[in-house]
Amino acid sequence: MLQKTPTPDHGPDFVLDLEDPAFVRDPYPTYAWLREKAPAYRWKARGDAIVFSRHKDVRALVLDRRFSNDYRMWEFARKEEWPAEHAEYKSIMDNGLFGLADADHLRVRKLVSPAFTPRAAERMRDEIQKAVDDIIAEHVKGERVDLTTITEPLPMRVVSDMLKIPENLRGEFRAFGQASIRSSVLFNKAEELFELIAPMPRWIRMLREVIAERREHLLENDLLSTLITASDEGQKLTEDEMISLVHALIVAGSDTTVHAANWALYSLLRHPDQFSLLRDDPSLIRNTIEETLRYDLFGKGGLPKFAREEMEFAGTKLRKGQMVMPFIPAALHDPEVFPEPERFDIRRDVSQTIAFSAGQHFCLGAALARQELDLVVGTLVRRFPHMRLSQEPQLQPHPIMRALTRLEVTLS
Ligand code: HEM
């Protein structure tokens, strides 16, 4: 059988393959090889990008202003015209927080930030707790339950409640977000990309209708109304930026937290001693969540960034426009920073975590995600203190995430 996980003897000719099922199940030997043998791994198959995997390099990279998140700066950025029916979607991507740079990025981010501070997340605690309780009541009927049925609806519900998206559109917007994540991969071939984004015009129309309707009837305590008011007040937020921002919240705010919750629960279930520790001392929940994100993060690599200029970074020469990839999950297992990284320890010092990145693009939704994870994981452990895995979970192919799709437990 072809050895897909590099052994210590592999040279830098080893070809990284994020689709390989062995990697998806357990990427940590590959990450260790990268850190030790190829800390600036040249990934020719992926646009000749350079992958950084050591904690100190990944942290320095996300903090370094000489890199941009704007994919249009990529030396191999798609130059061909997009079909006219997709011009609108392209504009959404270009105007979103993930695409904007510098002053525009700062301006949009500043506007939306107050809704995402730790204090704002704390104010949402009761509402999120109620959502968790409702979902549990709806899905737990017998002795066995697939925990992904509980984690799956929560984040979309939370972000939809913040934006007061009508109930009948939430399923559509969830699909919109999922398709957007898959289509954000820069290596999709043109035909694949256009197939993925075929339904976008319909979803974009729905989003515009929701916004037009809200403009007519602004609501209290509603993030969308706040954004509309901001865009109506002139230069603060253009219409396109507002649509892009709402889209970004739907995209970034749902799948990420679903998979984070699944892996968090799986990590606890795989380590009954740690599960018991948390059950006996619920005050450990905050640290537990941070450790689950460190120990088994759902992302396969990291969001790509692009060199704004020709430069040297961490001893590697980079071309202007060259893609670099901060492999955050690899950095979170760097023994230089996290001793015995393969040990899951909910009391570990996780202050050096970069699960949510750092610097100007630090995850906008970090406090909200932490709050959701605290409440869904904490509540499940409290309500079902004797739950245990009844079978190994299932994984599904996904371009950028290790997607755990079934997590079946017996409750007592
Ligand atoms: C456990 C769940 C989550 C993780 C691990 C996570 C992680 C990340 C990471 C690594 C970045 C990239 C930062 C960079 O470019 O260096 C990011 C960006 C972002 N995240 Fe999250 N995220 C999560 C949940 C959320 C949620 C719930 C929301 C919103 C509702 C959100 C909104 C965003 C936005 C808008 C950005 C772009 C920020 C910018 O470029 O300024 N994320 N996230």
Q: How far is the CA of 256 from the centre of ligand 1 (A)?
A: 8
pLDDT (mean) for 43-62: 95
Number of domains in the chain: 1
Residue 26 predicted with pLDDT over 80:
yes
Residue 2 confidence (pLDDT): 39
Q: Is the CB of 355 under 6 A from ligand 1?
A: yes
pLDDT number for residue 387: 97
- Ligand 1 close to Cβ of residue 121 (< 6 A): no
Mean pLDDT of 207-211: 93
Residues β-bridged to residue 42: 50
222 lies in some domain: yes
Distance 116 CA to ligand 1 centre (A): 11
pLDDT of residue 3: 42
CA-nearest residue for atom 17, ligand 1, is 363
**Looking at ligand 1, which atom is closest to the CA of residue 372?**
27
- What's residue 48's pLDDT? 93
Any idea what DSSP says for residue 89? H
Question: Is the CA virtual torsion 250, 227, 357, 347 positive or negative?
Answer: negative
Say if ligand 1 is within 6 A of residue 107 CB. Answer: no
Cα-to-centroid distance, 283 and ligand 1 (Å):
25
The mean pLDDT value for 211-223 works out to 93
What confidence category does residue 343 fall into, taking pLDDT thresholds of 50, 70 and 90? Answer: very high
* 8 A C-beta contact, residue 100 and residue 70: yes
- How far is the centre of ligand 1, averaged over its atoms, from the C-alpha of 368 (Å)? 10
Residue 43 lies in a domain: no
- Look at the block and give the residue holding tokens 């996904």: 398
Is 233's pLDDT higher than 70?
no
In a domain, 221, yes or no: yes
306 domain-assigned: no
Is residue 282 domain-resident? Answer: yes
394 Cα–ligand 1 center, Å: 25
Name the residue with the closest Cα to ligand 1, atom 31.
365
Greatest mean pLDDT range, 188-197, 294-303, 344-353: 344-353
Q: Decide whether any atom of ligand 1 lies within 6 Å of the 69 Cβ.
A: yes
CA distance linking residue 153 with residue 327, whole number of Å: 28
**CA 280/CA 181 separation, integer angstroms:** 38
Nearest 10 degrees: Cα torsion 66, 70, 73, 79: 170
Q: Which of 286, 363, 377 to mutate to test the pocket of ligand 1 (most atoms within 8 A of CB)?
A: 363
Ligand 1 centroid to residue 273 C-alpha, Å? 31
Q: If DSSP codes are grouped into helix, strand and coil, which group holds residue 410?
A: strand
Instruction: Supply the residue whose CA is at minimum distance from atom 19 of ligand 1.
Output: 363
Please give the distance, rounded to the nearest whole angstrom, from the Cα atom of residue 359 to the centre of ligand 1.
12
Whether 267 and 12 have beta carbons less than 8 Å apart is answered as no
In a domain, 369, yes or no: yes
Quick: pLDDT tens for 36-49: 999 999 999 888 99
Residue 307 vs residues 58, 63, 109, 150, 319: alpha-carbon distances, Å? 14, 13, 22, 41, 7
- Collapse the DSSP code of 329 into the 3-class scheme (helix H, G, I; strand E, B; otherwise coil) and give the result: helix
Per-residue pLDDT, 4: 64
The residue whose two tokens read 């017996």 is: 410
Confidence of residue 1 (pLDDT cuts 50, 70, 90): very low
Task: Give the Cα separation of 54 and 328 in Å (integer).
Answer: 9
Which tens digit of pLDDT belongs to each residue from 84-121? 888 888 888 888 887 788 888 988 898 899 889 999 99
Look up residue 400 and give its two tokens. Answer: 């950028």
Q: Is 100 in the pocket of ligand 1 (CB under 6 A)?
A: no
Dist. CA 390 → ligand 1 center (Å): 32
254 pLDDT exceeds 60?
yes
In this predicted structure, what is the pLDDT of residue 9?
Answer: 62
**Which domain does 395 fall in, by range?**
75-295+357-410
For residues 126 and 107, give the distance between their C-alpha atoms in angstroms, rounded to a whole number.
31
Residue 113 in any domain: the answer is: yes
Q: Closest residue (by CA) to atom 30 of ligand 1?
A: 253
Domain CATH number, residue 395:
1.10.630.10
Q: What is the average per-residue pLDDT within 48-71?
A: 96
The answer to whether 402 and 24 have CB atoms below 8 angstroms apart is yes
Residue 39 domain-assigned?
Answer: no
97 lines ligand 1 (CB under 6 A): yes
- Distance from residue 142's CA to the centre of ligand 1 (Å): 35
Assign 12 a pLDDT band (cuts: 50, 70, 90).
low
